[in-house]
Amino acid sequence: MTNNHTDSYTALLRGAYRFRETEYDGDRSLMARLSQGQDPDALVIACSDSRVDPALLFGARPGDIFVVRVVANLVPPRRPGDATAYAVMAAVEYGVKALGVSHVVVCGHSHCGGIKAAMDVARGQEPPPFECLGPWVALADGACRDVLAEDPETKRTDVETATAAEQWSVLKSIGNLRSYSWIRERVERGELALHGWWFDIDTGELWVANSETGVFRVSD
- How would DSSP label each residue in 3-55? HHHHHHHHHHHHHHHHHIIIIIHHTHHHHHHHTT----SEEEEE---TT--HH
Q: Measured from the CB atom, is 70 or 96 closer to Zn ion?
A: 70
Q: How far is the CB of 193 from Zn ion (least distance, A)?
A: 23
Q: How far is the CB of 212 from Zn ion (least distance, A)?
A: 26
- SS3 label, residue 209: strand
Cβ–Cβ < 8 Å for 122, 134: no
Q: How far is the CB of 107 from Zn ion (least distance, A)?
A: 10
Contacts of 211 (CB under 8 A, 6+ apart): 193, 194, 195
d(CA 149, CA 70): 26
Q: How far is the CB of 47 from Zn ion (least distance, A)?
A: 3
Task: Check binding of 49 to Zn ion (CB under 5 A).
Answer: yes
Using the contact rule CB under 5 A, the part of the chain among 48-56, 82-90, 131-139, 171-179 near Zn ion is 48-56
Using the contact rule CB under 5 A, the part of the chain among 14-22, 45-53, 156-164, 182-190 near Zn ion is 45-53
Task: Check binding of 47 to Zn ion (CB under 5 A).
Answer: yes
Task: Check binding of 192 to Zn ion (CB under 5 A).
Answer: no
- Partnered with residue 42 across adjacent β-strands are 65, 103
d(CA 11, CA 172): 38
Using CB under 5 A, which of 42, 112, 121, 192 touches Zn ion?
112
Q: Which residues bind Zn ion (CB under 5 A)?
A: 47, 49, 112, 114
